[in-house]
A and B are shown apart, each in its own frame.
Chain A
Amino acid sequence: AQTVTQSQPEMSVQEAETVTLSCTYDTSENNYYLFWYKQPPSRQMILVIRQEAYKQQNATENRFSVNFQKAAKSFSLKISDSQLGDTAMYFCAFIHSSGSARQLTFGSGTQLTVLP
Chain B
Amino acid sequence: NAGVTQTPKFQVLKTGQSMTLQCAQDMNHNSMYWYRQDPGMGLRLIYYSASEGTTDKGEVPNGYNVSRLNKREFSLRLESAAPSQTSVYFCASSPYFGTGDSNQPQHFGDGTRLSIL
CA distance A102 to B58 in the complex (A): 11
A-B contact count (CB 8 A): 64
| B40 neighbours in A (Cβ, 8 Å) | 9, 108-109
Contact residues on B (Cβ < 8 Å of other chain), bracket:
20 to 34
Q: Is the CB of B100 within 8 A of A97?
A: yes
Question: Which residues of B in the span 35-89 have a Cβ within 8 Å of any Cβ on A?
Answer: 40-45, 48, 58-59, 88
Q: Is the CB of A108 within 8 A of B100?
A: no
| A97 neighbours in B (Cβ, 8 Å) | 98, 100-101
Cβ of A15 < 8 Å from any Cβ of B? no
Cβ of B111 < 8 Å from any Cβ of A? yes
Cβ of B16 < 8 Å from any Cβ of A? no
CA distance A14 to B97 in the complex (A): 40
Question: Which chain A residue lies CB-closest to B40?
Answer: A108
Can you sample 16 A-B contacts with CB below 8 Å?
A4-B42, A33-B100, A42-B110, A45-B92, A91-B42, A91-B43, A97-B100, A98-B98, A102-B98, A105-B42, A106-B42, A106-B43, A107-B42, A108-B42, A109-B41, A109-B42
